[in-house]
A and B are shown apart, each in its own frame.
Chain A
Amino acid sequence: AQSVSQHNHHVILSEAASLELGCNYSYGGTVNLFWYVQYPGQHLQLLLKYFSGDPLVKGIKGFEAEFIKSKFSFNLRKPSVQWSDTAEYFCAVKGADSWGKLQFGAGTQVVVTP
């Protein structure tokens, strides 16, 4: 069965600090990987996605994620966060060979203090 684990439920950091959010998945096959973000009062938005090729993918707003197949990981990073990055971040996985459901992690609430 698919599963996604996000290591931190809550992260608090100051502006300009670096951010790294962990995501590990369990899936018996080739996967597509996603990070979604939910800003306060807004709907889920796609931050970035990995389908194939270069394991380092860049998304919107200066975010990037690295797919490490041997570790079943897809960690999200941003070198210098801003107050506007305060949001909840969700990692999700889907089998690459099928249409259908995304399996989400429980999410990480990130609070950036001025």
Chain B
Amino acid sequence: AQSVTQLDSQVPVFEEAPVELRCNYSSSVSVYLFWYVQYPNQGLQLLLKYLSGSTLVESINGFEAEFNKSQTSFHLRKPSVHISDTAEYFCAVSDRGGSYIPTFGRGTSLIVHP
């Protein structure tokens, strides 16, 4: 069994400030890791994923996340946020052993103030 903990339910920041959304997971096997973003009244969209290779993964809109196996973390960062980044962010993990059912965190609401 696996679990995902998103340590902050809400993160308020000012525009152009850096932000980090924290995600920790537990699993008895190797994992795939994902960050999804949900804008108001929409479904979830994949932001970035770690499947293998480099532990630092980047999205096209400036977010990045680093897989840290020793700390079982996959924190999401952006050096300078925009108003348009205001959304709900979900971390998810699935095991490499064949199960295709991811476990989601409860979400972090990123609120960017002007």
Do chains A and B interact in one complex?
Answer: no
**B residues with CB within 8 A of A:** none
